[in-house]
Structure 1
Amino acid sequence: MSSGSRSPNGRDRRARSLAAGGLALAVVAELSSVGLLGLSGWFISACAVAGAATVSSFSYIAPSGGVRAFALARVAGNYSKRLVLHSAALRRIAAARADLFDRAAGADRAETDGLWSGELLDRSMADADSAGMALIESTTHVAVTAALTTGAVLAVAVSTSLVPAAVLAAGVVVMAVIAHRTPGTAREAEQHTRKALRAEFVTAVDAWTELASLGAAEQLAARTTARFTRLDIEREASARRRHRTTLATGLIGTATLTATAAAGSAPDAPTFVFVALLALGVLAQAEQLAPAAEARATAKAAHHRLTASAPHTASDTAVPEIRSWSTEHGIGFADYPLPPMALRPGSVLGASVARGATLVVTGRSGSGKSTLLRALASSLRQSTDARDGRPAVVAVSADDHLFTGTLGSNWRLADAAPTDDEIDEHLAQLRLNDSGLTATTPVGPGGRQLSGGELRRVCLGRALARHPHVLIVDEPTTGLDDRTARHVLGILTNLPDTTVVLALHDLPACLESAGHMTRLPLDHTSQDAS
């Protein structure tokens, strides 16, 4: 295969050709289905009329051959369209997902740092699925209905007159208008409510002991009942829309048959049956325009979210500007504006740390420690390239996350190579074996089966497994007793080839005499930044 055929433009052309072929096969399959329905009805009626007549010259050979031809075309068309359309839809989904990850990987870190949460990524993946499946759920139904209506109107006009053909065409247009006026976000709202209910049930089961001790069971039951009520209302609204569409189908079908019977030259019985079944097939397909309109609106909203310049989040994740640098000899930063909650707001801050040394940022809660670390991590990621296969910067936030699974599966997110025995050795270095934790220990949703101190040490160990050039840790001793905290701080401050930045409320006694350490207080006038 040539390099040109592998190009994005070549892939786009193949994807469009595949989609066009799938739509053509879908039209052939539905035309064959409706043709089979109408011709079969006409054939049966004609046979009955011929059998009732005393003398008849009716020939069954041509109509029976037509029935068989339509049946074979329907089977082949349906099978082929499924293969081709699903292949085209999967290509679109894969392309949307790849574009999503490309944008996430290539986005400006200063603008998107912290935005790509698990929940947001899950929603974005669902949006990619919705955008890709629009080909099957929306575009195909619209194209098939248009082609089917055109063919049926021509067939009715030729077999009877223009009046019933015009009534049938006008009826399909009316159904299209009804579908277009259908609230497009109805399905998305119902799916959102279902997702909220599932998430709440999973959370309630996992945290039932805490909820019971808080006396929150009644409030939770009331909130869940309200969501069930909302889901029932959304279902009833969808049912009413379906009933309106069914009623419109019946009225239009009746009007078409009435116009056929009242035509200038009344058709014979086989022709009347042919028109009735043909109209039924067309209107049954036209009923799919309503869900197609909802699918199109859902895909449109999903496409808008996927192509937005940056993901939307309710939280304020703005990162202050900071100038930083990283060399083989260490890191540094300057011109960092102290936030309003600091003791000297409006001043600028700076520091430098040698390679293998430690910078400890101290200050009371709300003094801006976490904000400084987040700004420094974002700035260093932009200005530093990974060297010798090691990541330039790894940051461990105060609320780092573990995925549902085992300790080993979470550890291997950082380094896929270690065996369970090797991971057990790393856990022992952090004294997690004292609690009986091993690589096969399940952590539960979000790490809920671990204590706060165990969760903190697992996240630290996972970061250490990456062997970064710069390790930034927010509150490394949260949930740890004094003995374990000293042990963990000893590990973090004795990494000879890693520059470490820590945020702590106060400088522990075990670090006051430590070498290769710089303290940066944010709220003490008695000490200045070194």
Structure 2
Amino acid sequence: MSSSRSPNGRGRRAGSLAAGGLVLAVVAELSSAGLLGLSGWFISACAVAGAATFSSFSYIAPSGGVRAFALARVAGNYSKRLVLHAAALRRVAIARAGLFDRATATDRAQADGLWSGELLDRSMADADSAGMALIEWTTPVAVTAALTAGAVLAVEVSTSLAPAAVLAVGVVAMSVIAHRTPGTAGEAEQHTRKALRAEIVTAVDAWPEIASLGAAEQLAARTTARCTRLDTAREGAGRRRHRTALATGLIGTATVTATAATASAPDAPTFVFVALLSLGVLAQAEQLANAADARATAQAAHRRLTGSVPLGVSDTTVPEMRSWFTEQGIGFADYALPPTALRPGRELGATVARGATLVVTGRSGSGKSTLLRALASSLRQAADGRDSRPAVVAVAADDHLFTGTLGSNWRLADAALTDDEIDELLAELRLNDSGLTATTSVGPGGRQLSGGELRRVYLGRALARRPEVLIVDEPTTGLDDRTARHVLGVLANLRDTTVVIALHDVPVYLEADGRVTRLPLDHTSQEAP
């Protein structure tokens, strides 16, 4: 792979673009400040010259300088937007690629369930925040520092050291106030808004159940309390921003006044130049408050992206087992049921021929889901290095759909799927009876689909991957008896795929199938083979 396509190559190009963009941003802001100061000096000098008799003042050189600053300002602003946005987008792309690289490199025993859909959405948003920090944080800080240094030098050369020192102290004071407590109230507001949004969405989805329980008043009271907390968080964030703006404004006003008072300008135009240049620098310094908030957001996002375990993820450690993967099928042994199971301490094992089905049965809490998760992780390790079609695909009970169409979700499994192929698979799972097509919108998290439709959509996406081993947790949840029988029949007839499913019990119509093996986990079931 060439260096231009490698992560290091992409990082170097993004760094070069970022450096170029910062230089252009500094040039643009220095030109803006120079244009402001020189224009004020020029206008004042013209006024003074016009009031004098037989003045020899020449306007040619100053007017040329004004035009030069104006052109540099326009060109610099346009160029910096192009370059900085290109650099920021590269950083976002690198952060997103790193996120998926990290997911790929995660230990297989911990990977299952680690990168849930909700967590992935949040991680992608964190990658965006980390990438856009170049524009929202780094650039304002770099521009303010360069502009302050240039203005202090110009003021000292034009007048004396005292007003230059006053200007520098004022900018430093504004920077300290802006970065004193960044992001605290904003993060609290964000978390409270997220909790309220989740509460409202849940209430809408579960309204019939809530109404039947007579819990509408309790829910309304709880939602009102969350709204109150959101208002409080918003007021806190607003008060913090107002205090920061007020403090920086007062410091800016005092700085301009002190700079003007200490400036021993030789003439009126020079005094106007110093005053206007100071105003330009202090106006730029006022943007540091927003930059501080962006910095806090980017740093929090970076911590979540680079932490050992993503924030908010529960323990996903699964028990170990010895498994194998051959052309004839799969097998596992030495699997000890976890302590949370109804039958702990017993070691299990089984073999499943290629094209056959293993049904893991047991009551709730017997460890079916844990066994399937452990088997998926172990088989993926056993299948490492295979060059054939995808080895193992697992469909969890709480799988995830991304916002968009049904087709866009299924093309995550196979990007080459056509709408006709998707519609054929929908018909095979009898989802076409519900009017679903490749272009059907699923809504956020699949909320526009029923529970039974969701289970079959998850299953269809896994089937589109055409794996060698398909592991499905509770494939009949939310399905009526007729549809459940049809779905189980589809799974049992996958002659080129080894299937492992978890059910509370084996239906009668599957018991007669010689290619279906049962593995019970609880006390009430028969001994495992």
Q: TM-score, with normalisation over the residues of structure 1?
A: 0.91
Alpha-carbon distance in structure 1 between the residues aligned to 2:293 and 2:444: 34
Give the distance between the partners of 2:2 and 2:453, measured in 1 at CA: 51
**Structure 1 stretch 373-382 or stretch 435-444: which is displaced more?**
435-444
CA distance in 2, matches of 1:154, 1:388: 66
- 2:102 corresponds in structure 1 to 103
Tell me the distance in 2 between the aligned counterparts of 1:210 and 1:318: 34
**1:211–1:217: 8 Å Cα contact kept in structure 2?**
no
After TM superposition, give the deviation of residue 191 of structure 1 in Å.
4.1
Contact 2:7 2:94 in 1 (8 A): no
Q: Helix, strand or coil: the match of 2:351?
A: strand
Question: Secondary structure of the equivalent of 1:59?
Answer: coil
Deviation at 1:198, TM superposition (A): 5.0
Whether the aligned pair in 1 keeps the contact of 2:192 and 2:229 (CA below 8 Å) is: no
CA–CA separation in structure 2 for the residues paired with 1:462 and 1:431: 14
How many Å separate the matches in 2 of 1:128 and 1:396? 27
**Which moved further from structure 2: 305-314 or 370-379?**
305-314
Name the structure 2 match of 1:237: 240
Give the equivalent residue in structure 2 for 1:348: 347
Q: Tell me what 1:370 maps to.
A: 369
Q: For residues 110-121 of structure 1, what are the structure 2 equivalents within 5 Å?
A: 110-121=109-120
Partner of 1:150: 149
In the other structure, the counterpart of 1:167 is 166
**Gap change, CA 1:416 and 1:87, over 3 Å in 2:** closer
- Change beyond 3 A, Cα 1:217–1:73: same
Contact 1:138–1:293 at 8 Å: present in 2 too? yes
Structure 1 residue aligned with 2:502: 503
Indicate whether 1:227 and 2:226 are aligned: no
Q: 1:78-117 CA distances to partner (integer Å, 9 max, x unpaired)?
A: 1121122222222211111111112212322212221112
* Counterpart Cα distance in 1 of 2:156 and 2:525: 96
Contact 1:362 1:520 in 2 (8 A): yes
Q: What do you get for the CA RMSD once the two structures are aligned?
A: 2.6
Does 2:26 align with 1:23? no
With 363-372 and 381-390 compared, the bigger mean Cα shift is at 381-390
**Structure 1 match to 2:307:** 308
Q: Distance in 2 between matches of 1:497 and 1:33?
A: 69
Aligned to 1:269: 268
**Secondary structure, aligned partner of 1:234:** helix
Aligned-pair CA distance for 1:456: 2.2
Query: 1:253 and 2:252 equivalent?
Result: no
Q: Is the 8 A contact 1:115 1:317 kept in 2?
A: yes
Partner in structure 2 of residue 513 of structure 1: 512
Q: Distance between the aligned counterparts of 2:211 and 2:114, measured in 1?
A: 33
Taking a change above 3 Å as real, the CA distance of residues 237 and 211 of structure 1, as seen in their structure-2 partners, is farther
CA contact (8 A) 2:342 2:367 kept: no
> Aligned equivalents of 2:404 and 2:22: distance in 1?
42
Contact in 2 for aligned 1:402/1:446 (Cα 8 Å): yes
Q: Distance in 2 between matches of 1:323 and 1:296?
A: 47
Change (3 A) 1:233 1:58: same
Q: Which residue of 2 aligns with 1:399?
A: 398
Q: 1:82 matched to which residue of 2?
A: 81
Taking a change above 3 Å as real, the CA distance of residues 453 and 155 of structure 1, as seen in their structure-2 partners, is: closer
Distance 1:466 1:222 in 2: 46
CA separation in 2, counterparts of 1:458 and 1:6? 36
1:419 is displaced (CA, Å) by: 4.3
Offset, 1:279: 0.9
Deviation at 1:281, TM superposition (A): 0.9
Matched positions, count: 525
Task: Tell me, yes or no, if structure 1 residue 51 matches structure 2 residue 54.
Answer: no
In 2, distance between residues paired with 1:243 and 1:416?
54
> Per-residue deviation at 1:321?
1.3
Distance 1:439 1:320, change over 3 A: same
Match of 1:183, SS state, is coil
8 Å CA contact retained: 1:326, 1:380: yes
Give the conservation status (yes or no) of the 8 Å contact 2:355–2:495: yes
Write the distance in 2 (CA, Å) between the matches of 1:342 and 1:200. 32
Secondary structure at the aligned position of 2:518 is classed as strand
Query: Does the alignment pair 1:91 with 2:90?
Result: yes
1:265-284 residue CA offsets vs partner (Å, 9 max, x unmatched)? x6322121111111111111
2:280 aligns to what SS in structure 1? Answer: helix
8 A Cα contact 2:183 2:297, kept in partner: yes
| Offset of residue 12 of structure 1 | 3.2
2:321 pairs with 1:318? no
Structure 1 residues 278 and 101: alpha-carbon distance in aligned structure 2, compared to 1, 3 A threshold = same
Shift of 1:4: 4.8
* Deviates further, 374-383 or 223-232: 223-232
Q: Spell out, residue by residue over 1:50-104, the C-alpha distance to the aligned partner (whole angstroms, 9 max, x if none).
A: 2222342222222112111111111111112112222222221111111111221
1:168 and 1:252 in contact (8 A); partners too: yes
Q: Aligned with 1:349: secondary structure?
A: strand
State the match for 1:467 in structure 2: 466
Identity %: 79
- In structure 2, the CA distance between the partners of 1:418 and 1:268, relative to structure 1 (3 Å rule), is closer
Instruction: Note if contact 2:389-2:466 (Cα within 8 Å) is conserved in structure 1.
Output: yes
The whole-number CA distance in structure 1 between the counterparts of 2:86 and 2:410 is 36
Give unpaired runs (5+ residues) of structure 2.
none
Deviation at 1:303, TM superposition (A): 1.8
Higher mean C-alpha displacement, 106-115 vs 475-484: 475-484
2:470–2:498 Cα contact (<8 Å) kept: yes
| C-alpha displacement of 1:366 | 0.4
5+ long unaligned stretches in structure 1: none
Q: What is the rounded CA distance, in whole Å, between the counterparts of 2:80 and 2:429 in structure 1?
A: 58
Q: Quickly say closer, same or farther: Cα 1:399–1:177, change in 2 above 3 A.
A: closer
Matching residue of 2:175: 176
Tell me the alpha carbon deviations over residues 499-530 of structure 1, each in whole angstroms, 9 at most, x when there is no partner.
11121112222223320222211113663221
Tell me: CA distance 1:201–1:272, structure 2 relative to 1, closer, same or farther (3 Å): farther
Local SS of the residue matching 1:315? coil
Deviation at 1:249, TM superposition (A): 0.8
Return the alpha-carbon distance in structure 2 between the equivalents of residues 207 and 71 of structure 1. Answer: 61
1:192-236, Cα deviation, whole Å (9 max, x unpaired): 445555555555555555555541334323323332332232222
Deviates more, 1:121-130 or 1:199-208: 199-208
Measured after TM superposition, the shift of residue 376 of structure 1 is 0.5
CA–CA distance in structure 1, aligned partners of residues 6 and 407 of structure 2? 39
Find the aligned partners of 2:527 and 2:486 in 1 and give their Cα distance: 28
Distance 1:442 1:12 in 2: 37
The 3-state SS of whatever aligns with 2:330 is: strand
**Closer, same or farther in 2 for the Cα pair 1:470/1:253, shift >3 Å?**
same
Q: Which amino acid aligns with 1:256?
A: T
CA–CA distance in structure 2, aligned partners of residues 427 and 239 of structure 1: 55
Contact 1:164 1:257 in 2 (8 A): yes
